[in-house]
Structure 1
Amino acid sequence: MDTDILVIGGGPAGLAFARQFAGSRLRLTVLEQSPPEVLQHPPYDGREIALTHRSCDILRELDIWRRIPEHEIYRLRDAKVYNGTSDYTLHFPEPARARGGKTDRLGNLVSNHNIRRAAYQAVAECANVVLRCGTGVKNVRTDKHAATAELADGTSLRARLLVAADSRMSQTRRQLGIAADLHDFGRTVIVFRTRHSLSNQHTASECFFYGRTLALLPLETHLTNCVVTIANTRAHELLSLAPAELVKQVQTMLRGKLGDMEIAGTVHSYPLMGVHAKRFYATRAALIGDAAVGMHPVTAHGFNLGLESADLLAKRILQAERRGKDIGADALLEEYSFRHQLRTRPLYHGTNAMVGLFTNDAAPAKLLRGAALRLSNNLPPLKKLISKQLTG
């Protein structure tokens, strides 16, 4: 074998997975299409990642957390959900952790490019991990003996196990013959930072207006990341605006809740699609990260589930290696798939159903939306369950 584990995709999930094996006897090769300088110095892409307490713990275990600049780790104190033009909110306050004591936050917000850079730095120190950048994967195939990847440069690599961590539209997943539920929401996400005169109180807000959705992710007290979701057919109405005019639109939507607002950086946009693989493994292959599950961002689960998948799979592989067992055995991969499916499938379909309701502007749906918020607010067990999911 050229390597023990072949990881396709050098994003945060693929790198977090590789870092799990620091100091082990297993050899890993990570294949990434982007050039090495993109991994070393990832550009800012507008995405602010809401990290649960569990995700922060995983990043600490992997020696990634300490590499993120402390002044760029932002406190997420609590969260509120608004419906339409009503001021009534579903409020998720600061949680009390099971280990005892009160925390001062639901979680943390960290820019995607800072996580990617820190993950790269941690993996670059691993003597048993090889990073091959700047070349794509042309084809993959597996059998009961090995997994093989044919690269765009004409070379090929054989491994005991292949791990796909490439993207929501994973070509590797398709070549492995793994089907997936794809959900095109027909919407575009527009993200940008704003500065404002009134404090955001470190409170995240999800505002389900009519015709568009606005999420506010608090960074500094007077710095907030705005995430506007709008139908693809109307996205040009916002993307064609000058940045200053775009911010004025948000200020109007908020009815001045953050005071005077101005743009604080660049504007980015992305298509909104969700995906959930029918299973997370094939013969000598497994899926992690977005190749396994790509979530709607409204519940901020996507990145956290990707970290969980890397952690779950890696720990089972390391345990098998210590016991002298086959790291690519069907039983191991099937157990990983079962456990991660048990965690992700209800979240994926539940989130999509919730988004379907809260973006439906028909009169009956509007009434149901308001009733759902009030019901959730006044059912402590349900509210506690949702809070536990938010904090991880």
Structure 2
Amino acid sequence: MDNPKRGRILRGMRNTSDILIVGGGLNGPALALALAQTGHTVTLIDALPRDLRSSDAFDGRSYALALASQRLVDQIGVWSKVADKAQPMLDIKVTDGRSGQGPSPFFMHFDHAEIEDGPMGYMIEDRYLRRALRDAMEATDAITLIDAQTVVAQRIDHSGVTLTLASGETLRGGMVVGADGRRSGTAERAGIKRTGWDYGQTALVCAIEHQLPHHGVAHQFFMPAGPLAILPLSGNRSSIVWSEQSARAKAIQNLGDAEYLSALCPRFGDFLGEISLAGDRFTYPLNLTLANDLIADRLALVGDAAHGIHPIAGQGLNAGLRDVGALAEILTEAKRRGEDVSSPLVLERYQQWRRFDTASLAAATDAFNRLFSNDNPLLRLGRDIGMGIVGAIPGMRQTFIREAAGLTGDLPRLLQGRAI
């Protein structure tokens, strides 16, 4: 018989765990590991096959882990597996301008040396982080993995949750966590509504190789059509997240590689020398989508299932890992006190902790995008002066640096670098 930890269960088998997690991206596995470390049994259901999750091929996707998020990854036992492949972000430069005309003379420059905590964050390729999380789950007895399966029904009763998979198998648990993205089936089946809107923008995502070293500097260049982020990877490579109006983005994505680079180069400039594509190219439609509730009966949402925001500040994954840290801490403390971890009182503590932070982050990213993604001369003057003021005042710079590093607000213990 196949080991169910390796991705299969017998037809009709009822697998009992304390917590069922739907979603095998990054937040779901991180939560599974955090909970398993504190005595919970977990079953994680992933819609994708194991081979795809475990592939080590470079496809161009990467993540910006804030310093606080890196501390969580370390606390759940994964950072040591990827540290040598991560690129520290030492400086962040924020500029305003137009394609082909260079940046405005007003800018913000954030240097990690202005705080004592270390780099503001790290860039890590998807293939390394994803595989390290997977390997750690497979090595953890308290976690059962089910691959290549989708949940088609969920039923809540007085004693727990029953999930039905597309294969017909059923799973039983004390509660369910939806970590299944912006179109969360877990939230939809629970009747949780969403609020949001489309930005009319699409993110073009790729990785590039460049002639000159980046020195660990991340760049955010605001242009009328949308922001361009240039994020340092290990070696002479960088990750590109390039926002355009959706029709224009579709036309650019349909170009061949040479023409694609020709469209990128006027926006990118020549400060890193000659550039070439590395890995695949992706597009992601940009929208704001917030779950009206983060919890329901015996259910909680984390990551994009709870809040999908604009990538303008690279905070999507970091916000999800704050959810992970907060939910793991709430459930673990409740378990130690002998409470029913899925009770409304326990889950409401999670919602109260995370609701204000996620709403504030969504509002801030929305406002930044609206302020900078236009060519209004009055708004341009105001934001350029504002950046100049922030860049010139040390106290304001340090506040922005700590915000970028994820060190502000009511941090869960894991994001402080402490065990639960």
Does the aligned pair in 2 maintain the 1:142–1:285 contact within 8 Å?
no
Is residue 2:344 matched to residue 1:344? no
Post-superposition offset of 1:211: 2.6
Q: Find 1:357's aligned residue among 366, 371, 377.
A: 371
Q: Distance in 1 between matches of 2:350 and 2:357?
A: 11
Matches within 5 A, 1:1-392: 2-41=16-55, 44-68=58-82, 70=84, 72-84=85-97, 85=102, 86-97=104-115, 101=116, 103=118, 105-220=119-234, 222-392=236-406
Cα distance, 1:156 vs structure 2: 2.0
Rounded to whole Å, the distance in 2 between the matches of 1:55 and 1:164 is 20
SS in structure 2 at match of 1:22: helix
Q: Partners in 1 of 2:168 and 2:327 — Cα distance?
A: 30
5+ residue gaps, structure 2, are 1-14, 407-420
Q: 1:360 to 1:144 in 2, by over 3 A?
A: farther
Q: Distance in 1 between matches of 2:216 and 2:54?
A: 30
Structure 1 unaligned blocks of 5 or more? none
Task: Note closer, same or farther for the CA distance 1:292–1:43 as it changes in structure 2 (3 Å cut).
Answer: farther
| Aligned-residue offset at 1:376 | 2.6
Deviations 1:276-296 (A, max 9, x none): 222211111101111112221
- After TM superposition, give the deviation of residue 341 of structure 1 in Å: 1.2
TM-score between both structures, scaled by the size of structure 1? 0.93
Give the drift of 1:380. Answer: 4.2
- Alignment partners' CA distance in 2, 1:368 and 1:258: 29
- Tell me, in whole angstroms, the C-alpha distance in 1 between the residues paired with 2:269 and 2:64: 25
Q: TM-score, normalised by structure 2?
A: 0.87
Question: Which residue identity does 1:82 align to in structure 2?
Answer: T
Question: Whole-Å Cα distance in 1 between the matches of residues 150 and 208 of structure 2?
Answer: 37
> Distance between the aligned counterparts of 2:141 and 2:349, measured in 1?
29
In 1, Cα distance between the equivalents of 2:90 and 2:205?
21
Tell me the secondary structure at the aligned position of residue 266 of structure 2: helix
- Tell me, what secondary structure is at the counterpart of 1:264? strand
Q: Which amino acid aligns with 2:342?
A: G
Distance apart, 1:102 and its partner CA: 6.3
Describe the shift of the 1:263–1:36 C-alpha distance in structure 2 as closer, same or farther (beyond 3 A): closer
Q: Could you say what secondary structure the match of 1:388 adopts?
A: helix
Amino acid at match of 2:96: N
Partners of 1:290 and 1:45 in 2: how far apart?
A: 21
Q: Matches of 2:80 and 2:364 in 1, distance apart?
A: 34
Secondary structure at 1:68's aligned position in 2? helix
CA RMSD between the two structures: 2.0
Moved more, 142-151 or 186-195: 142-151
The 4+ residue runs of structure 1 with deviation greater than 6 A are: none
CA drift of 1:19 comes to 0.6
Aligned residues of 1:194 and 1:247 also touching (Cα < 8 A): no
CA distance in 2, matches of 1:76, 1:91: 13
| Aligned residues of 2:228 and 2:240 also touching (Cα < 8 A) | yes
Aligned pairs, number: 387
Query: For residues 356 and 257 of structure 1, what CA distance do their matches in structure 2 show?
Result: 28
Contact 2:228/2:243 (<8 A) preserved: yes
Change (3 A) 1:323 1:373: same
Distance 2:396 2:158 in 1: 45
Deviation at 1:45, TM superposition (A): 4.2
Give 1:158's aligned amino acid: R
Conserved 8 A contact 1:21-1:314: yes
Alpha-carbon distance change, 247 to 18 in structure 1, aligned in 2, over 3 angstroms: same
Cα distance between partner residues in 1 of 2:53 and 2:250: 31
Name the aligned partner's letter for residue 34 of structure 2.
Q
The residue identity in structure 1 corresponding to 2:110 is F
Per-residue Cα deviation, 1:167-202 (whole angstroms, up to 9, x for no partner): 111111111122222232211111222222233232
The share of aligned pairs that are identical, in percent, is 29
Q: Distance in 2 between matches of 1:377 and 1:112?
A: 32
Q: CA 1:353 to 1:61, structure 2 compared with 1: closer, same or farther past 3 Å? A: same
- What amino acid sits opposite 1:154 in the alignment? G
